[in-house]
Structure 1
Amino acid sequence: MNCSNIGVLDELQKLENMCGEYSGELKFLSKKIRRDIWISGKNDYILSKMLKTFNLVFECMYNITGEFSLGTIIEYVLCLSKYGIFINLALNATYYQKLIDDIQMESARLIIEEQWKDIYASKDGMKTFIEIFDDIFTKCINLYKDKFFHELKSTDVLCRAVRDWNHDTDRFIPWSNKTNNRWNPPGKTYLYLSFSEKESVYSDKLSLNEYVCLQEIRAEKGKKFSLCKFEPITKGNILDLSYNDVSFGQLKGIVSDYQQEMTQKMIDEMMSDPNLIEKYAGNKRNLKRDIKKKQKKNPVDESIIQESYAKQYLKMVCNCIYKKVDESSEDKKEKAYKSFHILSEYLENKGVTGIIYPCTRDNTISGKNLVLFRKEDAVPVENSIREIIY
């Protein structure tokens, strides 16, 4: 190991230890630098010098002001981005923007995972998970339902799988529940289905919905399984809590895209005036006055901004809470699913009839599931049963 190589490692260690309160986020950034930006043996010297400079500057700022935040880490990344061409030619501005998104997601994960353990508990005067969720649900989600809810349609693809062959459609209707499942405790019987708005292929033998069904029941290779399609009886009031097919950056982009659209609209209106140059030449005061008038005529649509922020929060939540649960004992399953049970009860009381959530068994696909709080809200489709050996 050469001196420059050791220098990089030393500076990364200093970065990780820069602020104990944000050690998780700083370690995450350090790992990304090791994995993506550092090309060992090729850019050791330049990277070590650059990191040393950045660390010195940011440590001095922290010592002088006593302030350190997530924004400080983002500023650090922006410095890396500015001089990134000297470090790794393969990385561009898009990489660093995604790195910022990833750091924000990691910061949220550290907070939300702790809150999710007990969604009624809080520390350091912070709101509890359920209080934050209730704020967002009441002030945004429930006000702009078209942006967060889905009404079931006859064209939606719903599917359910059971073990073995030679079943009639009644077998696909869930029995009275006596165990803990993700969204329902013992004594409550919900209907779990795979969900998509259109049919899509997973392999030459399975649709994506069928694959998701088999994954969720932990299907073993070489065993017999039956698959059945369902159709909705009611449109319902289905809350989308999946967000596994959209990036955090895309959700942030809702606001920036809207801002660009509004700006371009104003520019187009002004440019359409044939007397534009004569009207404003040498008279910036008139220009500013007319811009303000046009802004009043085209007020900001607050629902778009609220949609973006709410969906960013839901994306953060969904990235944290959906994990495989392979516990066999009911006590351990109850502990793993406790917060889900509380959240589903909260949503039922708010008039929600079901939840769309991601496939938890395979995060390499964008498969989705649907849980209906009333098992009667969808029924098996006659003659749709398909028998397979997995």
Structure 2
Amino acid sequence: MLIKNVNYNMLILGELQRLEDLSSEYKAILILISKRIRRDLWQCGKNDVMLYKMLNECGKQLDMAYKGPDQYMEQDFTDYILSLKPYSLFLGVHLQPYYFEKFVSDVRLENSRNIIEKQWDNIICAAENSDKAFIDIFDDVFSKCIDQYDDVFFHTLSDSDVLCRVVPEWGWDESRFIPWDNIDNMNRWNPPGKTYLYLSFDESERKYNDELSVSEYICLEEYRAEKDNKYSFCHFKPIKKGRILDLSYNDVELWKIEMALDRYQEIVKDLFVNSTLSDQAELKKMGTTKRSVKRYIKKNVDETIIDRSIIEKAIAKTYLKMVCNTIYKKVDEDDNAGKEKAYKSFHILAGYLESKGITGIIYPCTRTKKIIGKNLVLFNRYDAVPIKDSIREIIYK
């Protein structure tokens, strides 16, 4: 019932502020939820009454989940988001398909980021409230799953891959594009004393604008190129197919992984029910005790109906998405101390992967959000060689 002279705008702000203040431990998640509601669900003056009622009603669900200060769980907040979904139909707003599924996955990514960030900062030591260090957890996932599915988690280099490198100035031959021996410098993946080959990576040539390909643009961004300066590009071809671990995941959406797994779980349920009901005669003989039901299922249900590889791959993809969502940030430090702090965990992970026979890593470009860009680092700088006739010179505009 609409109450006259009530400022629903202020009531909504009150509900959102109450939401943000529910838990200090989950503060970042609660602010994310509040901002998303303000941005996507609230059309000030048009749906204030309905939005307030929705927030008030769904807030009662969180009140029921309250176990004491900072005693909430991530699931409480994802349930809250999903409880908004039925009410959203009455708000008069246009939402993209699977909006709430994406919303939930963003909350899970934010929560995992807070956890993984602490582990990543000290990669070889267990973080507070964790039994294992990041590198040990990664090793578990890598050894038991990732390493078993080459076609899913690894890339084999081919001549069709677009590999590009940039250097400043003009007039170079192809030898200039091979990295010089590294003694003192460190980059994202290599510590001082190790020389890796860094390239932009794409599986096909794509146009960025009239002047640049996507590969060239990514090169310029990674080099932090300055406008009106001269630069030279050179493409590379692989001479070793290698075993390249894909740690980019900037074009992978968590909600799609989760929805695919949910669909498979429904398929398994149907198969399980059909298998259970296949022998009606014996089913009638079955007792109703828990023990008798377990005995019947063990005897009659074929466990091979479950394809464990589907579940394993989905779990590993989820983990890698969460890791990649956390660890890649712009690094603008120019001094060695700043770089060492920012890159030390990458150096340890690269050393671990190299010890496992991995020859390179695909990782995302963090310098731009205009386009999804990827890079490639090869642990052996000679695993790909410059193509002489591909050198191109530009003035960056």
Q: Choose which of 317, 320, 326 in structure 2 pairs with 1:320.
A: 326
Once the two structures are superposed, what CA deviation does each residue of 1:61-120 show, in whole Å capped at 9, x if it has no partner?
314999621111111111100211123432366211111111111111111222221112
Q: Choose which of 191, 208, 230 in structure 2 pairs with 1:185.
A: 191
1:305 has 2:323 as partner:
no
Return closer, same or farther for 1:173/1:300 CA change in 2, 3 Å cut-off: same
What secondary structure is seen at the aligned counterpart in 1 of 2:35? Answer: helix
Show the counterpart of 1:107: 111
Show the counterpart of 2:77: 73
C-alpha deviation, 1:58, in angstroms: 2.0
Once the two structures are superposed, what CA deviation does each residue of 1:199-227 show, in whole Å capped at 9, x if it has no partner?
11111221111111111111111111111
Moved more, 103-112 or 294-303: 294-303
Q: Distance in 1 between matches of 2:389 and 2:257?
A: 41
Show the counterpart of 1:133: 138
Q: Choose which of 164, 167, 188 in structure 2 pairs with 1:159.
A: 164
Show the counterpart of 1:172: 177
C-alpha deviation, 1:298, in angstroms: 5.3
Once the two structures are superposed, what CA deviation does each residue of 1:286-312 show, in whole Å capped at 9, x if it has no partner?
8x99x9999628522211111111111
Moved more, 321-330 or 187-196: 321-330
Return closer, same or farther for 1:11/1:266 CA change in 2, 3 Å cut-off: closer
Q: Which amino acid aligns with 1:135?
A: D
Q: Which amino acid aligns with 2:138?
A: F
Question: In percent, how many aligned pairs have the same letter?
Answer: 50
Return closer, same or farther for 1:84/1:292 CA change in 2, 3 Å cut-off: farther
Moved more, 317-326 or 47-56: 47-56
Between the two proteins, the alignment pairs up a number of residues equal to: 380
Once the two structures are superposed, what CA deviation does each residue of 1:140-166 show, in whole Å capped at 9, x if it has no partner?
111222211111112111111101111
C-alpha deviation, 1:324, in angstroms: 1.2
Return closer, same or farther for 1:297/1:310 CA change in 2, 3 Å cut-off: closer
Q: Distance in 1 between matches of 2:169 and 2:69?
A: 67
Alignment of 1:115-264 (within 5 A): 115-121=119-125, 122-177=127-182, 178-259=184-265
Show the counterpart of 1:22: 26
Moved more, 300-309 or 246-255: 246-255
Q: Which amino acid aligns with 1:375?
A: R
What secondary structure is seen at the aligned counterpart in 2 of 1:21? Answer: coil
Q: Distance in 1 between matches of 2:342 and 2:70?
A: 39
Q: Which amino acid aligns with 1:322?
A: Y
Q: Which amino acid aligns with 2:213?
A: S
Show the counterpart of 1:3: 7
Q: Choose which of 66, 78, 82 in structure 1 pairs with 2:86.
A: 82
Show the counterpart of 2:377: 371
Return closer, same or farther for 1:262/1:386 CA change in 2, 3 Å cut-off: farther
Q: Distance in 2 between matches of 1:260 and 1:383?
A: 54
What secondary structure is seen at the aligned counterpart in 1 of 2:145? Answer: helix
Indicate conservation of the 8 Å contact 2:162/2:201, yes or no: yes
Q: Which amino acid aligns with 1:376?
A: Y
Moved more, 186-195 or 56-65: 56-65
C-alpha deviation, 1:251, in angstroms: 2.1
Q: Which amino acid aligns with 2:261?
A: V
TM-score, with normalisation over the residues of structure 2?
Answer: 0.87
Show the counterpart of 2:50: 46
Indicate conservation of the 8 Å contact 2:271/2:305, yes or no: no
C-alpha deviation, 1:261, in angstroms: 6.3
Indicate conservation of the 8 Å contact 1:266/1:294, yes or no: no
C-alpha deviation, 1:194, in angstroms: 0.8
Q: Distance in 2 between matches of 1:368 and 1:194?
A: 6
Indicate conservation of the 8 Å contact 2:164/2:234, yes or no: yes
Q: Distance in 2 between matches of 1:92 and 1:347?
A: 39
What secondary structure is seen at the aligned counterpart in 2 of 1:171? Answer: helix
Q: Distance in 1 between matches of 2:339 and 2:69?
A: 47
What secondary structure is seen at the aligned counterpart in 1 of 2:349? Answer: helix
Indicate conservation of the 8 Å contact 1:18/1:59, yes or no: no
What secondary structure is seen at the aligned counterpart in 2 of 1:113? Answer: helix
Structure 1: 5+ residue stretches without partners: 271-278
Indicate conservation of the 8 Å contact 2:250/2:364, yes or no: yes
Q: Distance in 1 between matches of 2:109 and 2:65?
A: 25
Return closer, same or farther for 1:265/1:323 CA change in 2, 3 Å cut-off: same
C-alpha deviation, 1:359, in angstroms: 1.1
Q: Distance in 2 between matches of 1:126 and 1:38?
A: 42
CA RMSD, Structure 1 to Structure 2 (Å): 2.9
Once the two structures are superposed, what CA deviation does each residue of 1:342-372 show, in whole Å capped at 9, x if it has no partner?
1101111111110000111112312110000
Moved more, 62-71 or 361-370: 62-71
Q: Distance in 1 between matches of 2:378 and 2:74?
A: 38
Show the counterpart of 1:35: 39
